[in-house]
Amino acid sequence: MPELSALEHLKIAKRYHFQGMTDDAIREYEAVLELDPDNSDAIAGLRALGIEPVLREDHYDSSASHAGGLKTNFFANQAKSSTAGGVRAGVFKWVVIALGLGGCYGLYFLATYLLNYDNITAKENVEVHFEKPQMKDNNALVNIEIINLNPAPIKHMKISFRIADPTDTTLKEGIVELPGQVPAGDRRTFAEVTLGEVKGVPAKLSPKLEELIYGPKPKIKDKFVDQFMKAAAVRDKDALSDYEQLVTDTEDEEFAPARVGLGRAYAAKGDFDEALKHYQKAMELDPMNANAHYYAAVALFYKGDKEQAKKEIEQAARIAPDDPEIAWNLKYLFAMKDKTANGSKDADDKKTGKDETSSKSAKTKKKN
């Protein structure tokens, strides 16, 4: 049997959790943490079941310099490679480049840069991870995790890649486009993205984030942007104090992502009641914040209120239909609930039908 990825174990764990199969859910959540020790969903799931996970301190580098890194573990037993992400250049550097180019072309270059300034600078605050690569029918597939430290959503990410063999000979180059969105200060995994047919023995993968669309840009002071990114770079419960300070400082700014981040920090500690308060506040500040509705659904799910959880995730899906995590949870977890409910109803109908048939047969027999 092929080894399962953290994402696949997480899907199974959530299904077991939803069905009330506690022991099986715990086993699968722990399997997730073996592969991804700071997976917030697995941590929250275990805490919802009354289990305090044992976390590894050294797994995640939360330093500011971690932003923008592109990493890969393409074919775990073979060579590994990585490329750096965007470089914080600033406007001054590009002005110098434009002047160096000179003439109309230099002015055109500078104008193009300024028009795309937000998208270009947003790239510097995004991480791309290629995870759990596999080959199926000579096609390379990978899970792509996007970590967005920006204070606004990103979408339509274009990522170039190069696949090489153990001698560093290029086997394939290309670009993949991820049409979905990644919320402010959060992460999303796009499962089994096809890189295309590869011939030879793939051993190295060098990815690079080429383009994205950023926004809408939040109307908050630059110092709060930096404060938010610092909190987003720290994982979940460890970011509690950072988000609390940010929420206090931006009370008059009506910045919903800060509330969502604080809610996630409380949820990571297992305090879903407090988390819900902040998600609800985020919805008040921005009713169209899909992430607030999504995490409210997650918190309600873990509290056992699955009916209200379904309403919240359906609202999240209406707002952000291209969010991969929202779409998956709505499709599998809540569709499974409907199927279970319908199955029970069908069973009841069959039982009722059988009783009615038996009753009619008895009456017919008596009449005859």
In a domain, 118, yes or no: no
- Are 194 and 81 found together in one domain? yes
The residues that bridge with 127 in the sheet, in sequence order, are 147
- Are 226 and 210 found together in one domain? no
Q: What are phi and psi of 344, to 5 degrees?
A: -65, -40
In a domain, 332, yes or no: no
- Are 263 and 311 found together in one domain? yes
- pLDDT at position 320 is 93
Task: Give 74's contacts (C-beta < 8 A, 6+ positions apart).
Answer: 80, 81, 130, 133, 142, 163, 202, 203, 204, 205
What is the pLDDT tens value at each position of the chain, 368 positions in all? 456 778 778 878 877 776 667 788 888 888 888 888 877 778 878 877 777 775 544 333 333 333 333 444 444 433 333 333 333 445 555 455 555 555 555 555 445 545 555 677 788 889 888 887 888 888 999 889 899 999 999 999 999 999 988 888 999 999 999 988 999 999 999 988 999 999 888 888 878 899 999 988 888 888 888 889 988 888 767 788 899 999 998 887 789 999 999 999 999 888 999 999 999 999 999 999 999 999 999 999 889 898 899 999 999 999 999 999 999 888 876 665 555 445 444 444 444 444 443 333 333 333 34
- Are 140 and 271 found together in one domain? no
- Are 77 and 194 found together in one domain? yes
Strand extents, DSSP E, 40-185:
70-72, 126-136, 139-148, 154-164, 170-182
In a domain, 366, yes or no: no
Q: Token pair 């295309």 is at which residue?
A: 196
- pLDDT at position 336 is 55
Could you tell me how far CA 109 lies from the centroid of its own chain? 34
Using an 8 Å Cβ cutoff, are 184 and 151 in contact?
Answer: yes
- pLDDT at position 47 is 76
From 158, 182, 214, give the residue that closes a domain. Answer: 214
DSSP-assigned states of every residue in 255-273: -HHHHHHHHHHHHHTT-HH
- pLDDT at position 123 is 87
From 162, 192, 214, give the residue that closes a domain. Answer: 214
| CA atoms of 344 and 366, how far apart (whole Å) | 33
- pLDDT at position 37 is 80
- Are 76 and 190 found together in one domain? yes
Using an 8 Å Cβ cutoff, are 102 and 108 in contact?
Answer: no
- pLDDT at position 347 is 43
- Are 71 and 187 found together in one domain? yes
- pLDDT at position 161 is 93
Q: What is the CATH number of the domain that holds 75?
A: 2.60.40.1620
Q: Within a 10 A sphere around the Cβ of 149, how many other Cβ atoms? A: 24
In a domain, 103, yes or no: no
- pLDDT at position 277 is 96
In a domain, 187, yes or no: yes
Residue type, 335: A
| CA atoms of 280 and 263, how far apart (whole Å) | 9
Domain count, the chain: 3
Using an 8 Å Cβ cutoff, are 261 and 243 in contact?
Answer: yes
Q: Please state, in angstroms and as integers, the Cα–Cα distance from residue 82 to each residue in 35, 129, 162, 186, 242, following that order.
A: 20, 10, 11, 22, 30
What Rg, from alpha-carbon coordinates, does the chain have? 25
In a domain, 117, yes or no: no
From 214, 243, 265, give the residue that closes a domain. Answer: 214
In a domain, 361, yes or no: no
- Are 204 and 276 found together in one domain? no
| CA atoms of 257 and 261, how far apart (whole Å) | 6
Could you tell me how far CA 221 lies from the centroid of its own chain? 26
In a domain, 269, yes or no: yes
Question: 3-class DSSP state for residue 49?
Answer: coil
- pLDDT at position 177 is 94
- Are 208 and 227 found together in one domain? no
Tokens coding 236: 């979940």
Give the domain extent around 180.
64-88+124-214
Using an 8 Å Cβ cutoff, are 15 and 333 in contact?
Answer: yes
